Chain A
Amino acid sequence: MVVSGNSSTFQRVLWPTIAWLVGLLFFFPIFWMVFTSFKTDADAVKPEFLFFFTPTLENYTNMTENYDYWRFAINSVITASFATLFALVVGVPCAYAMAFNPTKRTKDVLVWMLSTKMLPAAAVLYPMTFLTKNFLDIFDTHFLVILVLCLINLPIVIWMLFTYFKEIPKEIIEASKMDGVTIWGEIKDILLPLAWGGLASTALLCFIFCWNEAYWTVRLTTTEAATLSKLIEGNRAPEGLFFGRLSAVSTAAVGPIVVLGWFCQKQLVKGLTFGAVK
């Protein structure tokens, strides 16, 4: 593709082999985690069973018993879903107005929104704990986790939506205005169907970020609203005792998200570089 002309053995055989080896190498830790999850805890640390062992599903069937997995998983699903939903509900009208009726300050507002992302979380952790524990009394609730996840992802959501909306020709929106369509009708009947793909990938990416978030979800919860990040963080050092069961619960925690990620790898570039790389 890049180099035209005669293709040597190097290009035909060696190049793909190296590419495959690099790909497999990068995937290896994930493979190893999944592989280990089918070993018993005892087998997982015995060198003689490194590659050959009797596979077992007991780590998965005992996941509830060992880690109370489903409680954390359900919390993760609830908080990530609602945070994504709220981020879209707040973000769509905002990005819509910015894309179709930009003012002189739109650019500054967008840049300012992004700058809120750059505030180091650790710097404001104590005030957040203080406020939510002592004043608002919402520490360790789903509401708080949803709110925080929504807020930390809102700038990225607005930026992504903004870049997608800008690709829609303005004339379509203007024509609908001539026909006297109301603003909500405009968003619902014209904008959303046109921007469906962009909307879906924004939602997917936002969901992934919420799911993987490990600072606020760990610090602002104890038991009630604790997510999978908190569960894994709490079992950080098994000292070789529970490699099997820990692999199983880790696989269950990242599996769905890695698969979701495969579907939106292209959108990731847009979302994370704020449209600055094409």
Chain B
Amino acid sequence: MFSKLLTRSLQAPAVLLLLVWMLVPLGMTLYFSFIRYVLNSLRKPEWTVPQLSNWRGFGNYEYVLYKSKDFWFAVQNSLFIVGSILVITVLLGLAIAVLVNRSFPGRGIVRVLLISPFFVMPAVNAVLWINMILDPVLGLNGLAVEGINHLVAGLKDFPLLGHFFSLWPELEPVSFRATQTSAYAVIMMVSWQWTPFAVLIFMTSLQSEDQQQKEAAVLDGASAWTQFLYLTVPHLARPIAIVVMIQSIFHLSLYAEIEIVSRGNGNKNLPYLIGEFASNNIGAASATGIFAVILANIVAIFLLRMIGKNLVD
């Protein structure tokens, strides 16, 4: 069609920009991960300048792996957070997609209501949830628990039922600012934001489901549940895989929510740990960064294979 030169020069700006964007910072991270490099050091001022004479080999990697106690916790926590979010969003997303796939009055409005959380910026999402919803005293969490306690206290005065309710323990609102519970808070808010994404994709896919096959199944006397299990779920296998992959990539680099919800309370994932190291020990931060790249790439390879296969020529 048109000349090779023209094709190349049309693509060149995008390719070059992305090449520089990928190679330069990553190359620097790789370099920093092999040298001793700290931002402040009174004892060894020469370490504050990145130079080849500070070569440390795999020392930073060894330090991160064996000496810093947080690394394995951060990896574990990253995987726990990502895994929980995936299970919740896929299951909820499937249920809601099937629910909304039927026509009913106001379906369009319900769709709009459902998709809205996806467009809320992550910083607002975190601030909104941790303060106004999950706060154990002033948030809805605290108010709801207080309301229930109040109600139970009132019921205790009733003649017969009172005996039953006097056994009822006074409820304590859960604080979502401790190490473990703040991980739950992060899972909750991210799932709230990303379930709509799963719903949207499953719904798009449900619409291309073979209706004739379904009608045949109905004629053969298949129940709704059997149809769902043997026709719908296999049909959704690919969209489910894509939702899982894309979310893994996004959530492995989750940062804003963790920073806002659990700054300094010990709940950390890999990106947060890198940020902590980067306040002084750049060598260790870079080595951890390389580990994060490796982890992301393991996930990415699967995704790229799947999407690459789908490219029609």
Contact = CB atoms under 8 A, between A and B. Distances in A.
Interface of A: 1-5, 11, 15-16, 18-20, 22-24, 26-27, 29-30, 32-33, 36, 45, 47, 50, 90-91, 93-94, 96-98, 100-103, 107, 109-111, 113-128, 130-131, 151, 154-155, 158, 173-174, 177, 183, 208, 211-212, 214-215, 218, 228-229, 232-233, 235-238, 240, 243, 246-247, 250, 253-254, 257-258, 260-262, 265-266, 268-269, 272-278
A183 B206 CA distance: 41
A8 to B, nearest CB: 12
Given A29-B129, A154-B18, A228-B121, 11 more contacts: A4-B215, A47-B143, A102-B313, A115-B300, A118-B296, A158-B14, A232-B121, A250-B128, A261-B119, A269-B201, A273-B246
Interface in B196-220: 196-197, 200-201, 204-205, 208, 214-215, 218
Contacts of A93: 10-11, 13-14
A154 to B, nearest CB: 6
B113 interface: yes
B112 to A, nearest CB: 5
Interface of B: 1-2, 6-7, 10-11, 13-15, 17-18, 21-22, 24-26, 28-29, 32, 96, 98-107, 109-124, 126-133, 135, 137-138, 140, 143, 146-147, 192, 195-197, 200-201, 204-205, 208, 214-215, 218, 224, 238-239, 242, 246, 249, 252-253, 255-256, 259-260, 263, 270-272, 274-275, 278, 282, 285-286, 288-290, 292-293, 295-297, 299-300, 303-304, 306-308, 310-311, 313
A29 B117 contact: yes
Contacts of A29: 117, 128-129, 133, 192
Contact of A123 (B130, B214, B292): B292
Given A29-B128, A235-B127, A214 B274 contact: no
User: What 5 pairs between A and B have smallest CB-CB spacing?
Assistant: A123-B289, A261-B119, A122-B271, A124-B25, A127-B28
A115 B304 contact: yes
A193 B29 CA distance: 44
Contacts, number: 312
Contact of B101 (A2, A113, A126): A2
